[in-house]
Amino acid sequence: MSDTRDRVLEAALDCLVRNGYGGTTARAIAQAGGFAPGVIYYHFADLDDLLVAALARTSGSRIDRYRAELSGMDRAVPVVARLRELYDEDTETGHIAAVQELYAGARPGTRLADRLALETRRWEELAEELLTVLLRGKPLASVVRVRVLAGAAVAFYLGMETLTHLDGDRSRPATLFDQGIRLAAIFDRVPRLKRRARRVR
Amino acid sequence: MSDTRDRVLEAALDCLVRNGYGGTTARAIAQAGGFAPGVIYYHFADLDDLLVAALARTSGSRIDRYRAELSGMDRAVPVVARLRELYDEDTETGHIAAVQELYAGARPGTRLADRLALETRRWEELAEELLTVLLRGKPLASVVRVRVLAGAAVAFYLGMETLTHLDGDRSRPATLFDQGIRLAAIFDRVPRLKRRARRVR
Amino acid sequence: MSDTRDRVLEAALDCLVRNGYGGTTARAIAQAGGFAPGVIYYHFADLDDLLVAALARTSGSRIDRYRAELSGMDRAVPVVARLRELYDEDTETGHIAAVQELYAGARPGTRLADRLALETRRWEELAEELLTVLLRGKPLASVVRVRVLAGAAVAFYLGMETLTHLDGDRSRPATLFDQGIRLAAIFDRVPRLKRRARRVR
Amino acid sequence: MSDTRDRVLEAALDCLVRNGYGGTTARAIAQAGGFAPGVIYYHFADLDDLLVAALARTSGSRIDRYRAELSGMDRAVPVVARLRELYDEDTETGHIAAVQELYAGARPGTRLADRLALETRRWEELAEELLTVLLRGKPLASVVRVRVLAGAAVAFYLGMETLTHLDGDRSRPATLFDQGIRLAAIFDRVPRLKRRARRVR
DNA sequence: GATGAATGAGGTTTCATTCAT
DNA sequence: GATGAATGAAACCTCATTCAT
């Protein structure tokens, strides 16, 4: 059916990774995908529309994957270890780089920005789910609100990506994950408080 | 001396805040500053050069201010409180918005990107200085490397700004600062270990 | 038979009225009529061809209606009164707006321009018929050639429409019709000369 | 000073005459004037802006010329004769053809349309001035309102031009002017009524 | 030092038209 | 008969940059 539509989406993501937001022009996308620039406008209203669709696709599928891989884990070390693998996966496929470019380039007030806000909320919801399980019964849980912590985690992840993308220094996330593992190990050693008949909503 | 050069730099920052990276064109800068477009090229090699200089100026002066305000503080709560004030100051002056735009728009491999990496390192150095004092003698200091923690702090700050800039939701940093204060209070209650003959590097 | 062909013609006229000549694109016509753009090229050689056919249809049917309503009238006042009604009818149906758009947009030398010239001649012929009856025996008839007067009438009508279309001021034709009625009343009071041996053509 | 600005205006008028409204594209204007398309946008905000300026210039200068040539004439025959010469002049210079194209092509609601409405009013004012003098004391003056007659004259002139431009048949205005002269001669033979103490306004 | 006019490449988008299905 | 995806040319417009003054 919309075979070409998919090719356009893929080309747009490709272009984001290779040329950055500013270099993701209609012509560049067309060249990357090997089709005429007009094709874009047959399938999408405009570039903004295309990028929104591309974002929805890549972000959505990544969220699904992250959730599938991490859901229900209640110990921090394996979570961080898995996160690192997923991050490496993202780096290879370039999908996270594409999203990063969108965060960087989107102008506030555009549909793309709105959509990014939406996707951000989805990532925050996922983080909240995971953190809820991780923090259950831990003393830390009584100090911080999970929702806020989730927001901080997403912001941190985004900032790390921005910096990494900027200087191309892959050792930065590597070091951070290393450190994360150590902290996670300590965290896991903190015993859970016992509660009776805890029922969450 | 080069009075005009300064006007150009100010105009460029102005333009970044008001029009974003993509809207910071030679014409727009000239209009913002009330001079002819050609002036830019008299004082700077090209737009990249101008933005590099603008970044150096604004980032440098902000780092100086942050250092002056925070240097030597050894308790977390006042540090976070001060940070919040500085952040609000940044928000008002728009300087942080300008830098944020540069992080967003800079293409890897350009001189601007190199300069951003350099400024990032300076911020990380500042964070390292402050964290070194804060963590002195604390148990956490034996678990995480200060340098890495400093990098994480900068990344987190940048990510928070990116998200805030995108959706314009000022409540996000407010909530995070609130939470930060609470964590800082707990942190401050953790006693410092006594060590003999402490030698720093 | 070619039911769809008719739908295409109607859609083209619709589009002319709503979007103007410049907005009457293949896509817009297709959307207006609820069919695929390709359909146009199945029934018509190109857009020019379609517009020619649309013009022929709408202009032809309007000429027929004008002739049916006005033919044989020999007094000016009822003619002008009837013209005003027909004009209002045209305005409502939008058919006159469509033709006006074609006059405006047609490039000299195209088939559409040729066809417009042809339709103009038909309107001039109709005007000539009507004026011949009206002027019969009037002193004015010996001063002006009916054919030229007919041409002037059509030109005037077209010019009035152009101006009205441009500024959307419907009071213009209203005022002109008012004035026309007064002149017609005076005209009707001028007695007809008696002639012997009337020979037509 | 703005030498080039003038060249752009001239090129636009040239283009209107030669290529019509639809053919007056930025590229075509640039080619006609022998400059780069970008020049247009240096001197004018957009094409609409350019066409408004071109209209103001050509229409304004023609109105001035018409007024200078015709003002104060109180006999119809020399007026019509002079009109014919001016019309021929217009035809040669092509300026009237350019304006005609603008009337035809302008979309209602654009700045160009607004400006055309303004220029139309100016032509109507001129016509009103001239007709006021011509009709002074004539019986016709008590039957028609001069303002309405002026509006009709402008509409007629425009319609005549539209038709002439469309089919390129120069004999049409020639014939109409011939006929006009004959009517003017009759008009001039109608005696003026004597009025006492005529006070205008 | 400064100006502002000019350039030409390249940006997004639209369009008439074709063609495989 | 009809479809709708695809094309490539060309539309308008913006931009960094240069250069004569």
pLDDT, one tens digit per residue, over B74-122 is: 999 999 999 999 999 988 888 888 998 898 888 888 899 999 999 999 9
Q: Which class is D3-189 in CATH?
A: mainly alpha
Q: How confident is the model at residue C200 (pLDDT cuts 50, 70, 90)?
A: low
- Round and report the angstrom distance from CA (B42) to C1' (F19): 12
B156·A155 Cβ contact <8 A: yes
pLDDT, one tens digit per residue, over C125-175 is: 999 999 999 999 999 998 899 999 999 999 999 999 999 988 888 899 999
- Compute the distance between CA of residue A83 and CA of residue A79 in angstroms, rounded to an integer: 6
- Note the pTM of the prediction, 2 decimals: 0.86
The chains in contact with chain A, meaning 3 or more Cβ pairs closer than 8 Å, are B
Nearest nucleotide relative to C41: CA against C1': E17
Mapping DSSP to helix (H, G, I), strand (E, B) and coil, where does residue C143 land?
A: coil
| CA dihedral (B60, B66, B71, B76) positive or negative | negative
C22·D22 Cβ contact <8 A: yes
D168·C108 Cβ contact <8 A: yes
- Compute the distance between CA of residue A54 and CA of residue A99 in angstroms, rounded to an integer: 9
Q: Could you tell me which residue, C201 or C150, shows the higher pLDDT?
A: C150
Chain A positions in Cβ-Cβ contact with residue B156 (cut-off 8 Å): 152, 155-156, 159
- At residue A197, the pLDDT reads 53
- For strand F, which nucleotides have at least one atom less than 7 Å from a protein CB? 1-20
B152·A156 Cβ contact <8 A: yes
What is the residue extent of each domain of chain A? 58-189
Average pLDDT along chain C: 91
Q: Which has the minimum average pLDDT: A186-200, C106-120, D3-17, D181-195?
A: A186-200
In chain A, % of residues over pLDDT 70: 96
| CA dihedral (C7, C9, C14, C15) positive or negative | positive
- At residue D141, the pLDDT reads 92
Query: Which residues are CB-contacts of B18 (< 8 A; sequence separation ≥ 6)?
Result: B32
Pick out chain B residues at pLDDT < 50. Answer: 1
Angle, helices C95-105 vs C47-70, to 10°: value is: 130
Alpha-carbon distance B141 to nearest alpha carbon in chain A (angstroms): 12
Other CB atoms within 10 A of residue A138 CB = 16
- At residue C94, the pLDDT reads 84
**DSSP state at residue C156:** H
C9: pLDDT strictly greater than 90: yes
pLDDT, one tens digit per residue, over C18-63 is: 888 988 999 999 999 999 999 999 999 999 999 999 999 999 999 9
Q: Name the residue facing A155 among B107, B159, B183 (closest C-beta).
A: B159
Q: What is the mean pLDDT of residues C74-97?
A: 92
Pick out chain A residues at pLDDT < 70. Answer: 1-2, 195-201
D120: pLDDT strictly greater than 90: yes
Q: How confident is the model at residue D109 (pLDDT cuts 50, 70, 90)?
A: confident
User: Cβ of A4 < 7 Å from strand F?
Assistant: yes
Residue nearest to nucleotide F6 (CA to C1'): A39
User: Cβ of C197 < 7 Å from strand F?
Assistant: no
- At residue C196, the pLDDT reads 56
Closest CA to A182 of A39, A58, A105, A81: A81
* 8 A C-beta contact, residue C134 and residue C83: no
- At residue A3, the pLDDT reads 84
D200: pLDDT strictly greater than 80: no
- At residue D155, the pLDDT reads 95
* 8 A C-beta contact, residue A171 and residue B137: no
Q: Which helix (H) or strand (E) holds D139?
A: none
- At residue A201, the pLDDT reads 55
Mapping DSSP to helix (H, G, I), strand (E, B) and coil, where does residue C175 land?
A: helix
- At residue A119, the pLDDT reads 95
User: Cβ of A26 < 7 Å from strand F?
Assistant: no
- At residue D17, the pLDDT reads 87
C1: pLDDT strictly greater than 80: no
Burial class (CB in 10 A: 0-12, 13-18, 19+), A34: exposed
Q: Widest CA span of chain B, in angstroms?
A: 65
* 8 A C-beta contact, residue C184 and residue C80: yes
Which residues from the 18-37 window of protein chain B have CB within 7 angstroms of nucleic acid chain F? 23-28, 37
pLDDT, one tens digit per residue, over D40-80 is: 999 999 999 999 999 999 999 999 999 999 999 999 999 99
The chains in contact with chain B, meaning 3 or more Cβ pairs closer than 8 Å, are A
- At residue D167, the pLDDT reads 83
In chain D, % of residues over pLDDT 70: 96
- Round and report the angstrom distance from CA (C28) to C1' (E17): 15
- Compute the distance between CA of residue C167 and CA of residue C170 in angstroms, rounded to an integer: 9
Chain C positions in Cβ-Cβ contact with residue D23 (cut-off 8 Å): 107
Alpha-carbon distance A8 to nearest alpha carbon in chain B (angstroms): 23
- Compute the distance between CA of residue A29 and CA of residue A7 in angstroms, rounded to an integer: 10
